[in-house]
Amino acid sequence: MSEKQVYIDNLKVNYKIAGQGQPILILHGWGGSSDSWLRVSKILVKQGYKIVIPDFPGFGRSITPKTVWDVKDFAKWVNELTNSLGLEKFFLLGHSFGGRVAIKFAVNYPKKIKSLILCASAGIKPKSGLKTRVIFRLAKIGNAVFTPRILTRFKDGARNLFYIFLRHRDYVKADGTMKETIKKVLEEDLLPDLSKIKIKSLIIWGKNDKLVPVKYAYIFKEKIKNSKLKILPKIGHSPHLEVPKKLSKLVLDFFEL
């Protein structure tokens, strides 16, 4: 698998490419990179597919954007990347955050996609229960408490603890524009977009997923009418790392339907 670079909107972008045949574009999760999909890609290449795995801007070896992006910006970037690489029609696989982008891409550029695979996809904003509402209320109070200049240096640390409590650890790991980008990404609920997807789709989920619980898999299945759902027992949020052979077989079987 070779590694190449291309400029998209003045951003130097890194991507991996291998194989010949029908193209599969793989979009990695937040905090990941093209490296995390190497085992799956090797299996798919051996079965006669061309694999393209970009590092999203701000991840892997790609340059970080200077401005704050939302999901639509990432989808637009994917479209420009595929144009640059001459990918006119391809299979699209998105994992976690990459699933968010794949959803938006499928809605905005449906003619480019042969079929869609969403693996442990993020995108549905959780409803605020009592605990969450209390936490956000305390956060507002915290903002007021940390307003005095002498206390402002503690504010970021307190906010990080708040996001850890809400299981948004990616926020804590991010810095610069990426920290504001993930806030913007998390604010958007893609639930209304799911019913707009008409492309044949496969939804794959680990039953033991703690980051994006399996209950969301059934919502995806319900909203995306032309879809199939596969639940992987004893598997967590990263089937591509935990069971790459099994995940690859599901993908290949789906392509043959």
The domain tally of the chain equals: 2
In this predicted model, what pLDDT tens digit does every residue of 33-71 receive, in sequence order? 999 999 999 999 999 999 999 999 999 999 999 999 999
d(CA 4, CA 6): 7
* pLDDT-derived band at 175, boundaries 50, 70, 90: low
Tokens of 133: 């509402």
Do 103 and 29 reside in the same domain of the chain?
yes
Would you say residue 238 has pLDDT above 60?
yes
Residue 176 has pLDDT above 80, yes or no: no
Are 80 and 139 in the same domain?
Answer: no
Q: Among candidates 243, 249, 239, 198, which has minimal Cα distance to 217?
A: 239
Q: How deeply is 144 buried, as exposed, middle or buried, from its count of CB atoms within 10 A (0-12, 13-18, 19+)? A: exposed
Extract the tokens encoding 160.
């990080």
- Bridge pairing between strands 49-54 and 113-119: unpaired
User: Domain boundary at 146, 161, 182, which?
Assistant: 182
Q: How high does pLDDT run on average in the chain?
A: 86
Segments forming the whole domain that contains residue 147: 130-182
Within this chain, do residues 163 and 177 fall inside the same structural domain, yes or no?
A: yes
Examine the domain organization and report whether 233 and 165 are in the same domain. no
**195-235 per-position pLDDT tens digit:** 999 999 999 999 999 999 999 999 999 999 999 999 999 99
Q: Give the pLDDT of residue 28.
A: 97
Q: What is the CATH number of the domain that holds 109?
A: 3.40.50.1820
Residue predicted with more confidence, 196 or 174: 196
